[in-house]
Structure formats: structure tokens, C-alpha cells
Amino acid sequence: MSYLNSLFSLEKKVAVITGGTGVLGSSMVKALSNAGAKVAIVGRRKDVADELAKEINNSGGQAIGVSADVLNAEQLNNAKKTILDRFGAIHILVNGAGGNMPGATIPVDKTFLDLKIDDFQKVVELNLTGSVLPSQILAEPIMTAKNGCIINISSMAAYLPITRVVGYSAAKAAISNFTQWMAVEMARKFGEGIRVNAIAPGFFLTEQNRTLLTTSDGGLTDRGKAVINHTPFGRFGKPDELASTLVWLCSDGAKFVSGVVVAVDGGFSSYAGV
């Protein structure tokens, strides 16, 4: 085995990724598979998960699509059983499901007083509980074996809240906090074999933010311009730019790394704007 493989290979590992059907998630699925892991792609859209699994299996990897809502314990337990029946273990959990919801964003001409509390709760539930509950259920084999890792997906909104996006910002700040809490909890209760880290992507064009950041003719909205002006690299991220950070955090190369949130953001979180 080459030096780099001994550090970063995910061969013989089984990875589960919620939100594996999404834009960033599907790119992370490919990264895990390319690094040697067998991958279970979890999402509510089973057809999309199956299609991606087929693509991976056809190109020499091993993957299955599994249907589950990250807020439904029964569906997550069924998903765990399906994955264990097929692959026999779970070593890596990526909590990739999440996103903002239009109702939880305050429109430009409205104020905080117009915030719909139901939408606020939904977005907090999806992004926070939607990582906590899968960690309890899908990462239970990791705790039983005292071996493996959990990767959460945080956001730029966790460092400094983003205007108008109150629920998502609060939930992602909570994800960074939960990552640190879990890192300590896992190490103290189960030992150093379990690591918990997070990736905070900068701004990547995906379905959840495309209309907020770009116009129908491919230009930038005012908000899109504000994002680009605040990104020292002057562009949005490309999904495959998360791959090497993900593989590193999941691999033995990061075996003394736990509780960190790694920004992959073209410099956004370091820039004061001046």
C-alpha cells in the first residue's frame, strides 16, 4: 500500500450518507466511493438514491440506495437494518441532509415580526434534530464497535448569522456546537476510536439557494453579488471541492482530529469585508 493510501484510503469501510441524493451529498457519495468505501445513500427520494447507486456499481464501486426521512426513527431503524444486512457494518456516518426553507427566511420587505414560527421550527428540526437522530440510530454500530466517525455538515451561517436566514443560521450554529459536544462525549464514553467532525461549506450553487443567488438568465441577484464580493476567491464553490476534506476527516490520516469544523469556503469566513 502506498504512503498516501495508508493515510487516506477508506477501503473496507462502510459509509452511510444522509442527503446523499442532494447536490453536495451526491458529490460526497462519489468521493467516499472513490476512496474505497462501500456507500449507503440515504434520502427520501429512493429513485434518485437508486440511480446514483447504479452509477457507482456500474463503475466498479459498491453502493445501495436506502429510503428514509432523517426525522423518522422507524424509517432510520429500517434503513440501519437494510445497510447492516447488505454490508455487515457501519464505520462512517455523514449527516448531509439539511437545507433552508423559503418560509423560514424573512422576505426583504418583512421583519422579524412576520417570521412564521412553524417554518422556523421545521428548519431547526431538519438541520439539528435531522443530524442528532441519525447519529443515535445509524451511528449506533459505530458506538457498539467503538470505532468509526461521524461527519456533520455545518455552514458559513454558523460562524456569523446570515441576514434574513434566522432558523437555518441558528440550526447550523447548533450543528457546530453539537459536533464539539459529540466529539467529547464519544471519546469519553467510547474511547479514541470514534471521532466527530464537521465540514462548513462556503457558498455552493445548489437547488436550495439557486433562485436566491442567481437570476434566470444566469446572472447574479443582489444577494449573489454580496456573497461573491465577500468571498476572497470571487466565486462559488464546486461540489467536488469538498471531496478531499471529507476523505481526510474520515480516514486514519485524521486519527487525532476530533471536534473540529473545517471551512471549505474560498476564504469567506476569514474576510471582514474590509
Ligand X SMILES: NC(=O)c1ccc[n+]([C@@H]2O[C@H](COP(=O)([O-])OP(=O)(O)OC[C@H]3O[C@@H](n4cnc5c(N)ncnc54)[C@H](OP(=O)(O)O)[C@@H]3O)[C@@H](O)[C@H]2O)c1
Q: What does the binding site for ligand X look like in residue numbers (CB under 6 A)? A: 18-19, 21-25, 43-45, 48, 69-71, 96-99, 126, 130, 153, 155, 201, 203-204, 206-209
* Residue among 147 and 214 whose Cβ is closer to ligand X: 214
Could you give the CA distance from residue 15 to residue 147 in angstroms, rounded to a whole number? 13
* Residue among 48 and 132 whose Cβ is closer to ligand X: 48
CB 112, min distance to ligand X, A: 22
CB 117, min distance to ligand X, A: 19
CB 237, min distance to ligand X, A: 7
Longest dimension (CA), the chain: 60
Nearest residue by C-beta to ligand X? Answer: 22
Cα–Cα distances in Å, from 241 out to 28, 210, 251?
10, 18, 17
* Residue among 19 and 148 whose Cβ is closer to ligand X: 19
Mind giving me the DSSP string for 89-115?
---EEEE------GGGS--TT--GGG-
Hunting for cell 428548519 — which residue is that? 123
Q: What cell numbers appear for 256 in the block?
A: 487525532
Q: What cell numbers appear for 105 in the block?
A: 427566511
Q: Is 271 a catalytic residue?
A: no
- Known catalytic residues are 168
